[in-house]
Amino acid sequence: MADSQSLITLNIGSQTLSMGVFSPAKGGGLIMKAYETTNILADPAADAARLGQLRMAIAELAGKLGVSKGKVDYAISGQSVFTRFVKLPMLGEDDLEQLVAFEAQQHVPFPINEVTWDWQLLESTGTEREVVLVAIKEEALDELNDCVRDSSLGTGTVDASPMALANAFKHNYGDVDETCLLIDVGARTSNLIYIEGQKIFTRSIAIGGAALTSAISKEYGVTYMEAESQKIANGLVALDTRHTSQLDELTGALATCIRTALNRMPAEIARTTNFYRSQQGGSAPTRVFLAGGGVNLPHIADFFQEKLRIPVEFFNPLAKVAVGSGVNTELVASQAHQLGEIVGLALRSTSNTPVNIDLVPRVVQRERLERKRRPFIAAAAALTVGAFALLYVGNMQKAADASVKLAEVKERVSALEEFAYPIEEQIEREDDIFAHTIPFLDAHDGQRYWLNLIDDLKQRFGSTHVWVTDFSPLINYSVGAESKPQTAVRSDFATLPYGKSGMADPKLDQPKFLAAGRENPRYVPPLINAVRIKGMWRGAGGASQVNELVKSLTADDSKYFTLEVKSTGPGRQEVQVLTPAQYSEIDSMLQEGQYAAAFTITIPLKQPLPLR
């Protein structure tokens, strides 16, 4: 199916995988020559088998399209990558690259030597430049790349799904002047892509089709697979009571359940739009496009139009792409809104795309470097052999001259050896200095930990009916303890003079040591292992919404908060899940004349920190 001019592209989604074969058109643009798609199980409980499913699915697609050779450009889903848009001052190109590398170390939430990352300078106006940083854990990328290479395909460009979609949109809707929002609803995450002229901004939110399936599974007490089957066969989005009253009882109940699960998404979209306007200097979108496998539900476009109050339509990435005669047109027509990633990848080779991210696995980088070196190595080897042959055949006297020169070189090396020892001493001293910097780096990481934790709290614990008035880290919090945990911050920290620590000096009944009986036992500081959040709620459902916000705050994908605490006993260790009665104190009713009522919640931390 593929030839030397063919472009093979692959989109690796959380549930849907699609592969296409394209070729450049004579007058410019693209021609789709073949397309196939397949699905894997998106059940979060089946993550252990995900790599095996991916390997089989990619091999299946390659076999159907007959592309057992060549390189494939593939896109990784938004949930697997970390994306950050960073503003920088106007600098020269050399300084810019160094500054971007520095910013990457500050913004990427993993050690920079453990990730593969790339960046792109974006179109910007004013006195600042803007770049987009995209990173992925090296281990996760290697696992995906192994699945691709096991199908006998080589690795070409490795892109992020939101960037590929943005390129496809700019190609097909380049004449649209207004601010547009592309909502790509996947299985586990949804990508929000704002496009305004040459300006591009993206964000991934942890809401997708799997969340709808999980809601159905929970509501009806059925397995994930049964819930997914019901969603595909009978699922639709309820619009209003008049709409559901026209449906049979079971279908109406299912539609209402799906609408309820979808209601979180418009709030996240509104929050992201506010951030885009205030922090990125963008404008509110006036036109919405839907993409991804999660928008196949009937009436979903009407739902978003009702919630966002702006025109909504389905994204067509094939508007300016020709479809060859060998393609199943019915399949492509029904899934056109799902083809944005494979079209965006193919455009990288045929047109000037605005965002060009390439997350090259390090094994592929080494192979590419080796291929570049081979001609030079071969040429150098040939020249060396030829030189020695001429030297041997031409004149034996030159060999004698070379011996003399060799002796001179050895003498010079011997004279330089006296400088080698001081250099080695300086290297050892450098290692000692680096060892002393580790505590300072740890302190910096701890500071960044709290900044990221508070940012995560702002993202997840937000509602128009609930607000936070106090945030306090707690020391040695224990469920069911008679004494209340101490706060890690002094109550008078706001009035302390400059340089005075605001950390509390806890009075502990029994000091803890590293190990009993040691000659020099070292004091182990108490742990900050929970936070206490105080706030107010108002409006109908505000009290119950506090607990819903806690669930969002402690979801499985949270890096900082949890409701699971470990309890130990003789010969066992158990995990206990806190109940609302254990972690919250909520005034459940508004008293007469009150505008709002108070609440206090205490949430354990996944990663306790020592109080220094």
Q: Which helix (H) or strand (E) covers residue 546, if one does?
A: helix 542-553
Tell me the C-alpha distance between 609 and 606, whole Å: 10
> Which residues touch 244 (CB under 8 Å, ≥6 apart)?
238, 252, 255, 256
Q: Which helix (H) or strand (E) covers residue 166, if one does?
A: helix 161-172
Given this model, what pLDDT does residue 513 score? 47
> Which residues touch 526 (CB under 8 Å, ≥6 apart)?
475, 476, 506, 508, 512, 610, 611
Given this model, what pLDDT does residue 347 score? 93
Nearest to 609 by CA among 511, 518, 527: 527
Given this model, what pLDDT does residue 43 score? 73
Q: Which helix (H) or strand (E) covers residue 575, if one does?
A: strand 572-577
Tell me the C-alpha distance between 527 and 474, whole Å: 8
For CA atoms 552, 553, 556, 562, give the dihedral sign: negative
Given this model, what pLDDT does residue 509 score? 45
At 259, which amino acid appears? R
Contact 188, 210 (CB under 8 A): yes
Tell me the C-alpha distance between 438 and 427, whole Å: 17
Given this model, what pLDDT does residue 459 score? 85
Other C-beta atoms closer than 10 Å to the C-beta of 368 total 12
The token pair at 411 is: 């003498």
Q: Say how many Å lie between the first and final Cα of the chain, rounded.
A: 64
Which regions in the chain score pLDDT beneath 70? Answer: 1-4, 42, 93, 125-126, 371, 373-395, 506-524, 567-573, 612
Place of tokens 């196939």: 36
> Which residues touch 496 (CB under 8 Å, ≥6 apart)?
490, 502
The token pair at 335 is: 């899934």
Contact 320, 347 (CB under 8 A): no
pLDDT in tens, 225-283: 999 999 999 889 998 777 777 888 888 899 999 999 999 999 999 999 999 999 888 99
Q: Which helix (H) or strand (E) covers residue 414, if one does?
A: helix 396-460
Tell me the C-alpha distance between 300 and 308, whole Å: 12
Place of tokens 């020099």: 520
598 beta partners: 536
Q: Tell me 539's DSSP state.
A: S
115 beta partners: 137
For CA atoms 227, 232, 234, 239, give the dihedral sign: positive
Tell me the C-alpha distance between 320 and 328, whole Å: 18
Contact 216, 198 (CB under 8 A): no
What is the largest distance, in Å, between two alpha-carbon atoms of the chain?
Answer: 111
User: Exposed (0-12), middle (13-18) or buried (19+): which is 543, by Cβ within 10 Å?
Assistant: buried
Contact 170, 179 (CB under 8 A): no
Helices and strands in the chain, H and E counts: 16, 21
Other C-beta atoms closer than 10 Å to the C-beta of 266 total 15
Tell me the C-alpha distance between 342 and 65, whole Å: 14
Tell me the C-alpha distance between 192 and 185, whole Å: 9
Tell me the C-alpha distance between 10 and 19, whole Å: 4
The token pair at 528 is: 């900050």
- β-pairing, 7-12 vs 71-76, is parallel
Other C-beta atoms closer than 10 Å to the C-beta of 510 total 5
pLDDT in tens, 95-136: 788 888 888 888 888 898 899 999 988 877 667 788 999 999
What is the crossing angle of helices 300-308 and 249-262, to 10°?
50
443 beta partners: none
Taking the mean position of all CA atoms in its chain, how far away is CA 243? 38
For CA atoms 347, 352, 357, 362, give the dihedral sign: positive
C-alpha pair distances (Å), 514 with each of 520, 522, 555, 569, 573: 10, 5, 34, 22, 22
What is the phi/psi pair of residue 565, to 5°?
-125, 145
Write down the pTM of the prediction.
0.61
Nearest to 295 by CA among 190, 384, 221: 190
Tell me the C-alpha distance between 534 and 601, whole Å: 6
Tell me the C-alpha distance between 207 and 261, whole Å: 9
User: Exposed (0-12), middle (13-18) or buried (19+): which is 113, by Cβ within 10 Å?
Assistant: exposed
Superfamily in which the 7-360 domain is placed by CATH: ATPase, nucleotide binding domain (3.30.420.40)
SS (H, E, C) 132-158: EEEEEEHHHHHHHHHHHHCCCCEEEEE
Tell me the C-alpha distance between 144 and 127, whole Å: 40
Tell me the C-alpha distance between 208 and 262, whole Å: 9
